[in-house]
Structure 1
């Protein structure tokens, strides 16, 4: 089952912005078959997530486990904690030192230190998918399959705007984590999702709308388990996804990889929109054969990749179940 080995120590790492970190701990989990005994699936976590993708507190248990879509009886499932996400008590105070690409570089160093040249799949949702795109742009042969879910290879103006507002709240609010989370929940869901769930009902005990008590509950819940420094860092990463920044253009970068790219969008995602995902797909199709687009149909917005696991299971089955493992 899942085990947590000792962290890898990343030595003398200079970020894109020129900040030198003499030592960064890279903690990780391994689930399923032992490393180097089976195809490896690297799972990149989202904003408030961590490397616990399966097991007792696994945030993706619906998808990953014995007999599940990503079957831990057939695969090795590897997940890194973004250094500074707080899961291993390590924090980064100067969050602006880092970009998404820095994290991709750190994950690549992590794979190298585990003597992994290539993985079967890199899969990630939201900012985790952004890190996955950055990894592929840096190392075209790092994976056979890239599965970015509810994400894109760049942060759009809309995304940057919302991250800017998040940053303002995190730096200026008297209850930063709670207030930032309340705003974020509006981006993670959709108007239709709220309508379906709440129907303008009132919480009689508190004399407020149920949507208000639900949002307050989510803010309070995150405040209890999450660190302010971690939130600032992860928000910074969400804002800085861009594989082309200080690099080549999209086509030049993606022409270098033979990996199959399976883009999964969500039709109601307000954050990383399906339209943007389809544009990325169309762009890739101009010069690449093994690229695919599929879509989760849901009212639940961005968070649907954590909610609609049956649809996700169906969309991923071809990749993980149809093939015979010849490794």
Structure 2
């Protein structure tokens, strides 16, 4: 496991006008040292963190030596969203989570990159919340990213996403078992009825005298309870609701067309959270004013979580992009 490193973002003013004196920004670097190879920034999702590869890496099938994003050839950098608790220090949790937006996190990431003396990025890639932050980063600094790759995400939180983050927030603030209960609800958004049927097919857990699907949901809730703090869950859930590159700006096409990066939108055909329909609409709107925008779709019964499951399809989509650069680097 690569060492968790830290930089401090001083005197940061949030979009809501709140001054944050010192924000600790934790990160990990994999592969080539900074300055020695093209940089790939990986933005994590709601319960993710900077451990994107190696032991316990949540995207280790995609990132690593001789893998799609090859750490023999790239510098892979991952920041922890401030407040996600991965550093394990409770004093670093952000309790006034409503003061922050996804755009604030994007600005914090750019400040972190500046402190690491990284001016240009070969690719910014992220799933779900991480993809929304990637969109915000591309608008803030439209000439600095070569490839923007949002997966199972979008440039905005739809009404459906906002509604579900509200329900999650209500559970987190009112349940006696907030993290497990919110996680159980969320798992049903991240999967599909077909996925659960394939996995369980109404089987019973005889030892507990409950259905296997019930046992699975309880397991995921308990598992997250052990590694994820309530304040972190509230913060990450809130950030999803705030994804919107048009807020206090102009319409989507006007805002997004300034992005110089090649934009590779990757949707999931069965995603019940950031739906494929929304992704296709984003692509259709943007391709009217931008040549280098592409839409790819993962076919899966597993829904939103397919970006963490369908590695062969992701490899097929991304391989050409990263291999081409590898050959010219």
**TM-score class normalised by the smaller sequence:** over 0.9
Residues 263-312 of structure 1: per-residue CA shift (max 9 Å, x gap): 00001100000010000000111000011101111000000000010110
RMSD of aligned residue pairs (Cα, Å): 1.0
Asked if 1 retains the 8 angstrom alpha-carbon contact of 2:38 and 2:122, the reply is: yes
1:98-109 correspondence to structure 2 within 5 Å: 98-109=100-111
1:204 aligns with 2:206: yes
| Partner of residue 144, structure 2 | 142
Give the gaps of 5 or more residues in structure 2: none
Q: In the aligned structure 2, how far is the partner of 1:73 from the partner of 1:192?
A: 38
Asked if 1 retains the 8 angstrom alpha-carbon contact of 2:7 and 2:26, the reply is: yes
Q: In the aligned structure 1, how far is the partner of 2:7 from the partner of 2:76?
A: 17
Asked if 2 retains the 8 angstrom alpha-carbon contact of 1:40 and 1:76, the reply is: yes
1:161 Cα offset (Å) = 0.3
1:326 Cα offset (Å) = 4.1
| Partner of residue 99, structure 2 | 97
1:249 Cα offset (Å) = 1.8
Segment of structure 1 superposing worse, 136-145 or 222-231: 136-145
Residues 178-228 of structure 1: per-residue CA shift (max 9 Å, x gap): 000000000000111011111111111111111111000100000011000
Give the SS at the match of 2:150.
Answer: strand
| Partner of residue 54, structure 2 | 55
| Partner of residue 113, structure 2 | 111
Give the SS at the match of 1:27.
Answer: strand
What is the count of residue pairs matched by the alignment? 326
The match for 2:163 among 161, 164, 171 is 161
1:256 Cα offset (Å) = 1.3
Give the SS at the match of 2:10.
Answer: strand
| Partner of residue 259, structure 2 | 257
The match for 2:283 among 266, 270, 281 is 281
Under a length normalisation based on structure 2, what TM-score does the superposition of the two structures give?
Answer: 0.97
| Partner of residue 30, structure 1 | 29
Q: In the aligned structure 2, how far is the partner of 1:167 from the partner of 1:306?
A: 24
1:254 Cα offset (Å) = 1.7
| Partner of residue 2, structure 1 | 2
1:18 Cα offset (Å) = 1.7
| Partner of residue 299, structure 1 | 301
Q: In the aligned structure 1, how far is the partner of 2:111 from the partner of 2:75?
A: 18
Asked if 1 retains the 8 angstrom alpha-carbon contact of 2:180 and 2:222, the reply is: yes
Segment of structure 1 superposing worse, 295-304 or 253-262: 253-262
1:70 Cα offset (Å) = 0.1
Give the gaps of 5 or more residues in structure 1: none
1:255 Cα offset (Å) = 1.8
Asked if 1 retains the 8 angstrom alpha-carbon contact of 2:152 and 2:268, the reply is: yes
Residues 241-273 of structure 1: per-residue CA shift (max 9 Å, x gap): 000001122122222122100000001100000
| Partner of residue 183, structure 1 | 185
